[in-house]
Chain A
Amino acid sequence: MLNKHYVWTALVLAALALLPFAISGYQTSLATQMLIFATLAMSIDILAGYAGRTPLGHGAIFGVSTYVLIYYVTTAGGSLWVGIALGVLAATGTAMVFAALAIRTSGVYFLLLTLALGMIVWGVSLRWTSVTGGENGIRGTVKPEWLATHVNLYYFTLVVTALMALAMWRFVNSPFGLTLKGIRESETRMKALGYNVPLHVFIGFVVSGFFAGMAGILYAFYNSFVSPSTVELRQSVAGLLMAIVGGIGTLFGSLIGSIVIITLENLVSLYTERWSMVLGFMFIITMIFAPEGLVGKARQLLARRRSRQNP
């Protein structure tokens, strides 16, 4: 079983590594974007899929690190690596604040609370004009010279994303990750077993925020621009939808979700300006026919076939 995992991972990685040879420069930059959003979606999946708490504020956490990095490098004139550290730190810090306020809730209350907290970040970035540039945002290239080409940036993003994915995979499969799953299945039972449920959710949230912050750093490299639209609700929703379409609680499903959604966005908008409607229908269809997501559904079908073969 474990061997099979390795084979799959190696295959996917090889395919991703060979990708730039098969596609054009623009498509490579799209692929880079997919990897970045896959990291964001995976960080959301830690909470939504493993701890059973669906957040709608991760776009804001993600954007905080983008803001901090671009501000630190372009406006304050600081060094890139310090900027990256500060950016991730700021995102993790934001996640701590969010977590401290939201861990005692669950279900729809957790969703709404994280949504509201995300909106606060959006409001601040919109109104704190002297620092964030308000509506206009902050512009400036932060990525180092050697990442200037699409292909180099793609490989850099691929390496970082792969390392992050590995770290997240280790995290959710660690004994600590199992306690998160336990909390998802039954909070009261976990409490009865002597686990400090709020503390575990808090740590899960902060770790998830750290990874969202890493994705935000990659986004700053990729976009060279940040504005309130980077931290707005749309971003949080996009990340969550990617996790859901790919399959919640599957971690790597997020990559599939991100590929599917970004591809559709770009393909459909070539043909119609009503592309958001097409996306909407796709979500509805996914929810009706594959509520466990694409990866979840595929696993289910495979398992069914296997059980039919060896009854």
Chain B
Amino acid sequence: MMNRRKFLQATGAAAATSAATSVGPWVHTASAQTGPIRIGLMAPLTGVVAAGGREVVEGFNLYWEQVGKKVAGRDIEVIVEDDGANPDVSLQKARRLVEQRNVHWLVGNILANTGLAVAEYVKGNGIPYFIPVIAADELTQRKRLNNVVRIAGYSASQTPRPIADYGLKQGYKKAVTISQDYAFGHEQCGGFCQTFTEGGGQIVQQFWNPLNTADFSPYLAQIQNLKPDVVFVMETGADASRFIQQFANFGLKDKIQVLYCQNATDQSVIRTLGPEAENLISGAHFCEGRDDPANNKFLADYSKAYNKLPSIYGFSHYSGAMWLAEAIKRVNGKVEDKVNFLNEVRAVKLTGSPLGKTVELDAYGNPVYDMYIRKTVKRPDGKLWNVPIASYPNVGQFWKYAPETYMAQPPYSRTYQGIKKS
């Protein structure tokens, strides 16, 4: 029989334990290293880039499923949150993932403004934040943060440089650019303009169209009048589809040469287009039509899982997951030591990614890639894809400049495009 004193002791102990556990959320408990690694993945599942957001989740999950959601003996738990393509919502979701769901890292986001907002948040608390798609130059250049790493990503001005060089080699002298009027567009155009003018080319005029431009005809008429040798087109998503369609409808496709940025002829765009999107030239590191065992396997896996060819969003997050898995192995699953883990993430030499070549980061946390000049062609099954027609090995975010010289110039904006006066 339980006497009164024993009863008091027992209830007292129970109350004490329950009090201790209920204190839990306030005290940052050092979680046991046997638990799962929790990754907070943020993607715009609603809003203007919802299609891309879905592919972020697909690509990221595909890799973890392939390795059985277990790396170095630790389970991987991916917690997905919708960032609504809105920076305020992204901040809110980042807070929730870190403070309520206790994730070890944040990964994802598509739009630069959402990524910059989250970067500001992690600056305060040191949570590692990995950005396979956020391309804002500053995050790995002038305003880089130690805990923000662009695994398997690219910086905006990095990818258009080879295409500018390619244009010069084709003998183009007079170029016009048309670009979406926001930071990503300003930076991509800046990369193109600087390389093109320093190589002896000339930028005749630059057009900036607002995001979600329904009708490109005013721009097309002006471009036609300027009679340039080539047009550089920086459009993403629905704007890219509309531009490609309207350019063909205007009958300009066979008259004016065009060089596209990588997003304009990405699978997410050309998947829904027809003959008007054939034979388009663009520049990128990912080239889904490149014949390489690693790439072919990725394509087969991705198509089998989701019944479509992978876009840059799916590819980047698949490789990003691969990158993280590599780093987890390097620290033997001990990801709780953030400083050490971040060092190992930076030290990863990624082999076996769909790119088929070892990828590593430069000293500033941005990958160095072999870049390809790509052309869209029709596959036997009628789908379009990008195949390589020329390559530029080892292109980093600073192109051929020394990092210090490069970062001494102002960041690209609508007013500063790095254009060399001839």
User: Are A135 and B113 in contact (CB-based, < 8 A)?
Assistant: yes
Contacts of B382 in A (CB 8 A): none
Inter-chain contacts of B121 with A (CB < 8 A): 224-225
Inter-chain pairs besides A130-B413, A223-B88, 17 sampled, C-beta below 8 Å:
A24-B99, A25-B99, A29-B99, A33-B92, A135-B113, A135-B183, A136-B112, A136-B182, A223-B91, A224-B124, A225-B88, A225-B121, A227-B87, A227-B88, A227-B113, A227-B117, A229-B87
Q: Is the CB of A134 within 8 A of B182?
A: yes
- Decide if B99 touches A139 in the complex (CB within 8 Å): no
- Is there contact, CB below 8 Å, between B116 and A273? no
Instruction: Indicate whether A141 reaches chain B with its CB closer than 8 angstroms.
Output: yes
B182 to chain A: which residues have CB within 8 Å?
134-136
- Contact call A25/B46, Cβ cutoff below 8 A: no
Q: Which of A136, A140, A266 contacts B113 (CB 8 A)?
A: A136
Taking the complex as formed, is B45 at the interface, i.e. its CB lies under 8 A from any CB of chain A?
yes
CB-CB under 8 A from B413, the residues of chain A are 129-130
B415 contacts A by Cβ under 8 Å: yes
User: How far, in angstroms, from A108 to B352 measured CA to CA in the complex?
Assistant: 61
Partner of B26, one of A25, A134, A141, A227: A25
Indicate whether B368 reaches chain A with its CB closer than 8 angstroms. Answer: no
Closest B residue to A230 by CB, please name it.
Answer: B88
CB distance from A25 to the nearest CB of B (A): 5
Asked if A29 contacts B95 (CB within 8 A), the reply is yes
Residues from chain B with Cβ under 8 Å of A227 in the complex: 87-88, 113, 117
**A216 CB, min distance to chain B CBs, angstroms:** 13
Once the chains bind, are B99 and A225 in contact (CB under 8 Å)?
A: no
List B45-96 residues whose CB lies under 8 Å from chain A: 45-46, 81-82, 86-89, 91-92, 95-96
A137 interface hit (Cβ, 8 Å) = yes
Q: Which of A24, A26, A136, A230 contacts B183 (CB 8 A)?
A: A136
Per the bound structure, the CA–CA distance linking A135 and B211 in Å amounts to: 10
Give CA–CA (A25, B87) in the complex, Å: 21
Tell yes or no: B25 within 8 A of A by CB: yes
A276 within 8 Å of B by Cβ? yes
**B46 engages A273 (CB within 8 Å):** yes
Which residues of chain B come closer than 8 Å to A24, judged between CB atoms? 25-26, 99-100
B87 touches A137 (CB 8 A): yes
CA distance A134 to B227 in the complex (A): 31
Q: List 29 A-B contacts (CB under 8 A).
A: A24-B99, A25-B26, A25-B99, A27-B100, A29-B99, A129-B414, A134-B183, A135-B112, A135-B113, A136-B113, A136-B183, A137-B87, A137-B116, A137-B117, A139-B116, A139-B119, A139-B120, A223-B91, A224-B121, A224-B124, A225-B88, A229-B88, A229-B89, A229-B113, A266-B96, A269-B81, A269-B82, A273-B45, A276-B46
Q: Answer whether A225 and B183 are a contact pair too, CB < 8 Å, given A266-B96, A276-B46.
A: no
Q: Determine the interface band of chain A, counting residues with CB < 8 A from chain B.
A: 20 to 34
In the complex, number of A-B residue pairs with CB atoms less than 8 Å apart? 72
Determine whether the beta carbon of A130 is less than 8 Å from that of B116: no
Contact partner of B82 (CB less than 8 A), chosen from A129, A223, A266, A273, is A273
| Residues 125 to 160 of chain B near chain A (Cβ within 8 Å) | 136
Contacts of A230 in B (CB 8 A): 88
Instruction: Closest A residue to B120 by CB, please name it.
Output: A139
Contacts of A25 in B (CB 8 A): 25-26, 99
Q: How far is the CA of A127 from the CA of B86 in the complex (A)?
A: 17
A278 to B106, CA, bound (A): 27
For A273, the chain B residues whose CB sits under 8 A away are 45-46, 82
Please give the distance in Å from A51's CB to the nearest CB on chain B: 29
| Inter-chain contact B120/A224, CB cutoff 8 Å | yes
> In the complex, A29 Cα to B124 Cα: how many Å?
15
B258-284, CB under 8 A of A: which get 1 and which 0?
000000000000000000000000000
Chain A 212-226 residues near chain B, CB threshold 8 A:
223-225
Inter-chain CA distance A135–B185, complex, in Å, is: 11
Q: When the two chains form their complex, are residues A130 and B46 in contact, meaning their CB atoms are under 8 A apart?
A: no
- How far apart are the CA atoms of A139 and B90 in the complex, in Å? 14
Report the 8 A-B pairs with minimum CB-CB distance, sorted nearest first. A24-B25, A26-B99, A26-B100, A139-B120, A135-B182, A273-B45, A227-B87, A273-B82
Tell me how far the C-beta of B122 lies from the nearest C-beta in chain A, rounded to whole angstroms: 12
How far, in whole Å, are A69 and B125 apart by their CA atoms in the complex?
23
Q: Give CA–CA (A26, B96) in the complex, Å.
A: 6
- B120 → chain A, closest Cβ, in Å? 4
Chain A residues positioned under 8 Å from B136 (CB to CB): 136
**Which A residues are in CB contact (< 8 Å) with B89?**
229
A33 to B93, CA, bound (A): 13
A276-B26 Cα distance, complex, nearest whole Å: 30
C-alpha spacing A269/B93, complex, angstroms: 10
B46: chain A residues at CB < 8 Å are 273, 276
Contact A229 B86 (CB under 8 A): yes
Instruction: A224 to B100: give the CA distance in the assembly, Å.
Output: 20
Residues of A with C-beta under 8 A to B91:
223, 225
Q: Which residues of A contact B99 (CB under 8 A)?
A: 24-26, 29
CA distance A229 to B86 in the complex (A): 7
Q: Which residue of A lies closest to B98 (CB)?
A: A26
| Chain B residue contacts of A26, Cβ below 8 A | 95-96, 99-100
Contacts of A135 in B (CB 8 A): 112-113, 182-183
Interface residues of A in 186-243 (CB under 8 A from B): 223-225, 227, 229-230
Chain B residues contacting A139 (CB-CB under 8 Å) are 116-117, 119-120
Complex Cα spacing A136 to B412, Å:
13
Per-residue interface assignment for chain A, residues 264 to 283, with 1 indicating a CB less than 8 Å from any chain B CB and 0 otherwise: 00100100010010000000
Which residues of the other chain, B, contact A266 by a CB distance below 8 angstroms? 92, 96
Residues on B with beta carbons closer than 8 Å to the beta carbon of A33: 92
Q: Which of A120-142 contact B (CB under 8 A)?
A: 127, 129-130, 134-137, 139-141
Q: Do B124 and A141 have beta carbons less than 8 Å apart?
A: yes
